[in-house]
Structure 1
């Protein structure tokens, strides 16, 4: 793992969201499913996922969900159930309520909060299956009150029996009963526009490969999306008190996601930097996904040595990482100085996988520096808000002239006259009539 100075490292990594060829492929798939419905969906499922399905095979049956429990360990069921409880408890604290404020003049101003009606959750099934992502997408939507949650996940070769049983058990534990065995850009198009079998949704969330990401971008506007997720990232900010074995292990926990994942140590300690570099090399040799992690470390990994811990904090804020670990003597003393990070893990025992799987906060977090302006998935992602205005006669008589002044200042005479006609009726017409 290369050790560099701040000056030697480009702090603004740019992720290229697809080649022109990939974008064209996605546009074609989305168009075909939008216009061709089930026929196109099934054709692309056979062509790209090598699964021969018919329309009546798309939906996962209740019997398949029940059978999945026989294919996983009881310990997994217990763990996923406990994690679901923690995640639900955390997101319950985010719930908002509608509100109204009665003004002295009799006007009522407020906000009506409603859940989205139907949400689609994409669960990948490629290089790795992520049952934990089922919980992280579904549970905040449930807490928000979304009445219809539908899940899509790719079939494996062989079709009907091909869905990962761990994903199915996670879905069942989360309370999802409408599941379809489709994946890729074709699944995103089906969720956005609907087919004869799959009803359209209001929002699509969940991670996926580059084709899924591009398809989400393509359908945005017809539906809402959570984000265009980039590769996974971790930054560890550490001082001389950090354990190099812990730091190396946590860096590799993200590097094993895929070859484009980013794992960075920021430290003012050159001694720690050298120890972590050696430890990463040692631990890499023992990883089952060594080839993937090694490629990530080689291409996007780095150890940045700073002049001071304060400079390290500045580097972290410029990186705006998805995951940030504070492996310092007193993490609570500096957490308030962290301005940009998706999730912040404090101390030696708050390893990033604690948040990925079990603690409760959501693990769907902004990537590629977007933590500068965006946040992890939460209940707010699954609600919509309506402003409520009840204006009393007293309020309109008092403020009507000011409203007309503003309307005429923008050259919108019909706006002004909509107020003026009411003021005239009450014998209070004021301001110029614009003629």
Structure 2
């Protein structure tokens, strides 16, 4: 009989499975990325990676009968302790596979959660990872236990006779989730205080975003001051890093945030929303793209779509610049932006590792941050909520005065911001 499977991931002999359904055309890319995800957990000992083709998923085991039998044979012969599958599994499918294979089984979401758990270092990062795990457990608990009739009796107001075990577990998870959310909210309030101090002192914020492993941390480290980890692995930056840069008269803060990835688990997006939403408060967003990656277009699109879900206005945005990184190892030259409509003068080709093209980039950063600002008063109807919201979200309002039916706003903005406002609202109304 095989050794009992471990509950925690720890030095496990691992079998990696990527599944492609009929009609999918990104099989090689999916398999490569999922294998890279698995390799980013150093505690795993990967014995084999394979790509399987399915017409449809089996409701009980996900895999077809033939693939299931072959997988079972390989797992048994090679003493595999962990099977990774690059597709969402229902709780029932995961449980059935684990029983059939006598091994731990994780889908893509489970693997990404494990990776995030191994990367968190700050209190905020750990809290957010814990929340993501709890939310994931809760969703699977609800779906996987509906067939069970396990009940327990008891005395007292809670857990009285006839309460099912699932109800007790749901309540326990809900209580933990509330506790973690409260702790995260305290961190969020502190972040808000820091943001207000930054605004009061007119110190701009630059946020680095990009697909994981695009080279954000390497570029971040190219600025003087404290260094962060810069490694060739996925999600090397999980916690947000901040540091002050620039000359004495032109100070600014740069922030390195967690890298994005295709099909980022919903529980992670929810858990990390407090951190990721800080991007929307940035004065400038630097999107770092690995130009040497043959899938750079798809990955850039993932980043922009993720930013949109966080409330960052992408189209016609004057906040965004693109950095095409790793030109030293790229076989293609590209000067056009990945974001449609972004001016070419907001695209910088660099090699962060070799410090190639950094000086023009640094100059461009300051030019984008310190354009000539214009003071201007405008009067809006109090019902023009979209316009008012846009101006506040872009941190352009310096003071306001409310009258009976109108709002007088004093703005501090540059010509680009004024033109963007007109494109977004005035021209639309014509």
TM range (shorter): under 0.3
TM-score (norm 1): 0.21
TM-score (norm 2): 0.22
Structure having greater relative contact order (Cα 8 Å, sep ≥ 6): 1
Q: Which has the higher helix share?
A: 1
Based on CA coordinates, which of the two structures has the bigger radius of gyration? 1
Q: Which has the higher strand share?
A: 2
